Structure 1
Amino acid sequence: MPHALTPETGARFAALTLGHVTREYPNKPDHTLAGPEDARTPAALHPVFHGSFDWHSCVHGYWLLARVLRLFPEGPQAPAIRALFDRQLTPEKVAGECAYLEAPTARGFKRPYGWAWALKLADELARLPEPRWARALAPMAEIFARRFRDFLPLSPYPVRVGTHFNTAFGLRMAADYADGTGDTALTDLLRATALRWYGEDADCPAWGEPSGDDFLSSALIEAECLRRLLPADAFAPWFDRFLPRLAERRPETLFRPATVTDRSDGKIAHLDGLNLSRAWCLRALAGALPDGDPRSPVLREAAEAHLAAALPHLADDYMGEHWLASFALLALEA
């Protein structure tokens, strides 16, 4: 049977995430010091998002909690999620996050991965029946939306690595916020940028995948980005050109789950995330194909193999525990 998201799975993911979003240490800050006064603790730098080992993982941990709360509002972790949001997602604490972002040294902070997850969180909070949390986060979301608006026209080339710097992932996640807020100008900018960066790509060999640091497939996240941003009639011919031999399970590397040899090593643990993010993209792409398309069962079978390889290991070590569940949720929902 295909892997599925159940209330029990959602509760397990939420319990796991509640255990680290306020855990301040260990912590890997992405912080530039302009002077000795900038040497501060994670909680002093980031009043809201100081847990989960690093800022971006904490942000998408909050997204997971918001998503689980919306899907399962009566679930066993719902009271704890609401209490956390009431405690942390306040105008005063978000103002502290915004003050950090306005410093000149923070111009490129978490670009584009953290930007995208911050907007994804804002979009999810806006879909909850309790509007106070979305209202509180709105000023921070607008900062990141503005950063996308300012940065994308300046950037002549995409970044295709399988890590946080991947630009296709950033565009794809930001699209949900742009659509959710009705910001058609931002949606148009995201789409135009995707076409400028990726529109002429064809016959992708995926020859560099996976590297030992990947948690994204540069090939599949590019395809998922275009699936999300293009109309179906424009995506179909692009996808046919980009990965023309999927029905033959080629490029073969995309169908073989990555091997993880040491889950206590943060970089090697990325490969569990690669298996989960591939499953997310494979499922989403299969769902975009017409009925009877021979590629669909091939993609779904590959997704299940990747899920089977990664789902048992979400909490094996804190190097994966602090972030993997978010990608597991994306994959199970796709």
Structure 2
Amino acid sequence: MTLSQDQARAFAQLTLPNLTRRWPFKLDQVLGGQEDLVAPAELHPVFHGSFDWHSCVHGYWQVLRLARMFPEMPEARDIRVLADAMLVPGKIAGEIARFDRPDGRGAHRPYGWAWLLALHDEAARHDAPWAAALEPLAARLAEMMADYLDRLTYPIVTGTHGNSAFAMLLAFDWAQSRDPDLVARIRERALEWFGGRTAHCGWEPGGDEFLSPALTVALLMGRVLDPAAYAAWFANFLPRAAHEEPAPLFVPVRVSDRTDGKIAHLDGLNLSRAWCWQGVGAALGEPGRFAEVAERHVAASLPHIGDDYMGSHWLASFALLALTGGTAFARR
């Protein structure tokens, strides 16, 4: 699976208008009083498009990555113009202020935090001031992530926004060259929570999941273990993977109604599974091992990412992950 410039342009054309589309918008907010009733753009000076905060964050990650991969495509100029206007210190200060509110410690946790770190990492790969503007927000959320992991007794293994492994995975990749303490904390928690898990046979997929609880764990463990230890861990975790069992992990899910925002999550599950399977194969030293499985999942959902706004406001980011390999931070 490869990403062509035509596909990159289609993704950019799908996502760019959504980044500044203010309505509809789904807030993650606890109202402390009538004074908290403000428009989303007042609460979030940058990330007030794409239906919700986290989708807007990874929408920016997506378009910046596309502009870096295909700098000559016509949409790259529009992406840079938007980033120049929005990823500036004054607006980012307003985003930081959101987390100073009484409910800030739980806002967008942990999925949105992790994607903000991915966005910061992508911005740092451009010859532009965007990463410097984002850095105070990234530092704040990394600190909050470390505190959260310290306080969290048990991992969250659902396939939705609370998923611990997915957030730890993105945070781990961001922290590798920036925050050794966070790297150590994530590795410690991953080994504590998932190191002894064997013979996975969990009940998935759930009806509104966009992440696989099993495969996000498998991808995370591929980051924190050395190759030999990971091969042994994976052989115990999914001992019948060579026989494509448990079968539900290998069969693309069916999406019955793409106008339903929750059911539409399942297209994201197909795409994120493809991303995970590729990353797992790479971590095992066998990049092509699960390529056919990944291709089946991409084929099931890629043609539908623009079918309805319930998917089109976010699915291109997951499609980009699926088409560019097993990490949110391409190091090509």
Which TM-score bucket, shorter chain as reference? over 0.9
User: Bigger shift: 258-267 or 71-80?
Assistant: 71-80
What is the aligned partner in structure 1 of residue 173 from structure 2?
176
**Equivalent residue for 1:147, pick from 139, 144, 147:** 144
Sort the Cα spacing of 1:93 and 1:290 in 2 relative to 1 into closer, same or farther, 3 A.
closer
Whole-angstrom distance in 2 between the partners of 1:99 and 1:288: 39
What is the aligned partner in structure 2 of residue 24 from structure 1?
22
Alignment of 1:188 onto 2:210: no
- Quick one: which amino acid aligns to residue 44 of structure 1? E
What is the aligned partner in structure 1 of residue 104 from structure 2?
106
Alignment of 1:209 onto 2:207: no
Partner of 2:18, secondary structure, is coil
Question: Given the two structures, how large is their TM-score scaled by the length of structure 1?
Answer: 0.95
Whole-angstrom distance in 1 between the partners of 2:253 and 2:241: 18
How far has the Cα of 1:229 moved from its partner? 2.4
Whole-angstrom distance in 2 between the partners of 1:328 and 1:120: 16
How far has the Cα of 1:230 moved from its partner? 2.1
How far has the Cα of 1:153 moved from its partner? 1.3
> What is the percentage of aligned positions where both structures have the same residue?
52
Alignment of 1:309 onto 2:307: no
Partner of 1:200, secondary structure, is coil
What is the aligned partner in structure 2 of residue 89 from structure 1?
87
Partner of 1:277, secondary structure, is helix
Structure 2 matches for 1:211-226, cutoff 5 A? Answer: 211-226=206-221
How far has the Cα of 1:306 moved from its partner? 0.5
- Quick one: which amino acid aligns to residue 2 of structure 2? A
Whole-angstrom distance in 1 between the partners of 2:220 and 2:111: 14
Deviations 1:104-159 (A, max 9, x none): 211111111001001010111111122x1000011110110000111111111100
Check the 8 A contact 2:223/2:283 in 1, yes or no: no
- Quick one: which amino acid aligns to residue 245 of structure 2? R
Whole-angstrom distance in 2 between the partners of 1:163 and 1:282: 18
Alignment of 1:167 onto 2:164: yes
**Equivalent residue for 2:318, pick from 311, 314, 327:** 327
Equivalences, count: 325
- Quick one: which amino acid aligns to residue 287 of structure 1? A
- Quick one: which amino acid aligns to residue 321 of structure 1? S
Whole-angstrom distance in 2 between the partners of 1:290 and 1:235: 10
What is the aligned partner in structure 2 of residue 266 from structure 1?
261
User: Bigger shift: 280-289 or 58-67?
Assistant: 280-289
Task: List structure 1 runs of 4+ shifted beyond 4 angstroms.
Answer: none
- Quick one: which amino acid aligns to residue 31 of structure 1? Q
How far has the Cα of 1:226 moved from its partner? 0.9
**Equivalent residue for 1:59, pick from 57, 60, 78:** 57
How far has the Cα of 1:236 moved from its partner? 1.4
Alignment of 1:289 onto 2:280: no
Question: Given the two structures, how large is their TM-score scaled by the length of structure 2?
Answer: 0.96
Deviations 1:152-189 (A, max 9, x none): 111111000000000000000111210142x2111111
Runs of 5+ consecutive residues of structure 2 not aligned to the other structure: 326-332
Check the 8 A contact 1:123/1:180 in 2, yes or no: no
Deviations 1:215-250 (A, max 9, x none): 001011110111122222221111111111000110
Partner of 1:304, secondary structure, is helix
